[in-house]
A = this chain, B = another copy of it.
Amino acid sequence: MDVLHHLQSIVGPENAIEGNRADKRYGSDETEDLYFPPEWVCKPACTNEVSAILSLAHELNIPVTTRGGGTGLAGGALPVKGGIVLSMERMNQILLIDEENLQVTVQPGVITEVLQDTLKARGLFYPPDPSSRGISYIGGNVSTNAGGPRAVKYGVVRDYVLNLEVVLADGSVIQTGANTLKNSTSYNLTQLMVGSEGTLGVITQIVLKLIPHPVFQLLLLVPFNNPVNACAAVSAIFKAGITPSALEFMERDAIAWSKEYLGQPPLDETDDTQAHLLIELDGFYEAPLYEDVEKINQVVQHFNAGEILFADDEATKKELWALRRHVAHAVKTNSVYKEEDTVVPRAKLPELLAKVKELGKIHGFRSVCYGHAGDGNLHVNILKDSLDEHTWSILLPKAIRQLFEYVHELGGTLSGEHGVGYVQKEYLDTVFSAAEIDLRRQIKKAFDPRGILNPNKLFPDS
């Protein structure tokens, strides 16, 4: 029996097809314009089917690339070695909302926003909200340790994962932990799986911690005439004892392009605003939020902030958030680009931003920067514009290498929330020593001795 028929006998004929007959999206994600055709696309409906598929792949040494919503920005879901694309689209059930214990058990194919909306209707909050949450899967969020604007107060995905059901490379099924808030029982396999980008096992069930949903939210848009001042204000806000529920940074171009993309009137040309901070506050009582707004107002005046736009009605809040959430699409519409996901200790943001611009001058590229300033997580979008292919493909990787080396000097690293995947793996030596990479290779080998799980990812070619 050939592989296709084997797979069809596991998931049914309609859920296993040859790659060349499958939709093109199974060979790509949101990373640049990369495309790699899979040999087979397979859509399991349950853990047992995933287990049977992996047993088969293990026996026959077939690469398996697990796929969520396909919104990754580091190429983690690309089947670069062909083989099977394991799409989790049919495993999309919210299995149990446990209001007594503030936990939810889900399958990996649930769309992040669907989960959040379902929970919110019950007064429950699952905070991590990557920009792609309208289409990304929760399983992919776990696999990349996704973040989003609210990480600054509420933490990233890994802070909410209590326990995972995982199918290992040989098809055996394990639980990584327990459904408890605390756990000191041997090695933390849960946290090892989070962010491992499908290279250690296939996540088939997820238990998430929930919290009560805050009742009040306020939003501020603060303009600055200098992006370095905006970054510096970020640390000062935290030092003043305030923990916003979001603290986002946008360069002038980021907001200007997003306005254009959304069909809004452009920024006034005479306006000398060069950057914005979008600041959200939330809580269970309203009065303290207004006191925090007053404190923030005082802090940002030390950094030459302009007039603050204050949003307490839903329409204005929605409009401001749309501006922020559409920056990435706006950049994509403007130029071919490369997105870097640098992260540093937050007070180092001004230095990081200055370095990006300095490298741009040296190597001749424009960049648009924005991101989760409260976490020190700056998305650096390098624009191709009219750069020739030689500069783009040969010189640019050198500039990126210099950027990551500098990020490492600042105590940071190359990805805050996107992952390493396929497109960042050759840069790993800018932030890790040979011993640090080798130890991770040993872990990979312990989990997946035959190397069938998402091969040619995470590690530099050796």
Contact = CB atoms under 8 A, between A and B. Distances in A.
Contacts of A19: none
A445 B187 CA distance: 13
Contacts of A189: 436, 439-440
A344 B412 CA distance: 36
Interface string A266-282: 00000000000000000
Nearest to A342: B180
A261 interface: no
A-B pairs, top 3 by smallest CB distance, nearest first, are A191-B191, A100-B347, A442-B446
A343 B187 contact: no
Contacts of A241: 123, 212, 284
A182 interface: yes
Contacts of A98: 345, 347
Q: In the complex this chain forms, how many copies of it are found?
A: 2
A238 interface: yes
Contact of A192 (B182, B187, B239, B372): B187
Given A181-B151, A419-B184, A446-B442, A287 B284 contact: no
Interface residues of A, number: 91
Nearest to A144: B184
Contacts of A436: 174-175, 189
A440 B186 contact: yes
Interface stretch (A10-18, A23-31, A306-314, A426-434): A426-434
A32 to B, nearest CB: 18
Given A155-B159, A180-B344, A186-B458, 8 more contacts: A98-B345, A101-B345, A175-B433, A178-B408, A182-B372, A185-B415, A186-B428, A187-B195
A155 B416 CA distance: 21
Nearest to A123: B241
Contacts of A211: 243
Contact of A101 (B285, B347, B416, B420): B347
Given A151-B181, A211-B243, A433 B174 contact: yes
Nearest to A194: B188
A413 interface: yes
Contact of A191 (B151, B155, B192, B200): B192
A172 interface: yes
A390 to B, nearest CB: 29
A117 interface: no
A228 to B, nearest CB: 15
Contacts of A191: 158, 188, 191-192
Contacts of A155: 159
Interface of A: 98-103, 123, 144-147, 151-152, 155-156, 158-159, 168, 172-175, 177-189, 191-192, 194-196, 200, 211-212, 235, 238-239, 241-243, 284-285, 287-288, 291, 341, 343-348, 372, 375-377, 408, 411-420, 428, 431-433, 435-436, 439-440, 442-447, 458
Contacts of A187: 192, 195-196, 200, 440, 443-444
10 contacts: A98-B347, A145-B182, A147-B182, A178-B431, A180-B375, A183-B415, A186-B432, A189-B436, A189-B439, A442-B447
A200 B186 CA distance: 11
Contact of A435 (B102, B172, B178, B432): B172
A183 B182 CA distance: 22
A156 B184 CA distance: 10
Contact of A447 (B99, B376, B431, B439): B439
Contacts of A345: 98, 100-101, 103, 179-180
B413 A185 contact: yes
Contacts of A419: 184-185
Contact of A102 (B144, B158, B238): B238
Nearest to A287: B287
A428 B288 CA distance: 47
A229 B288 CA distance: 34
Contacts of A151: 181-182
A410 B451 CA distance: 36
Contacts of A147: 182, 184
Given A188-B191, A192-B188, A182 B416 contact: yes
A156 B182 contact: yes
Contacts of A284: 241, 288
Nearest to A292: B284
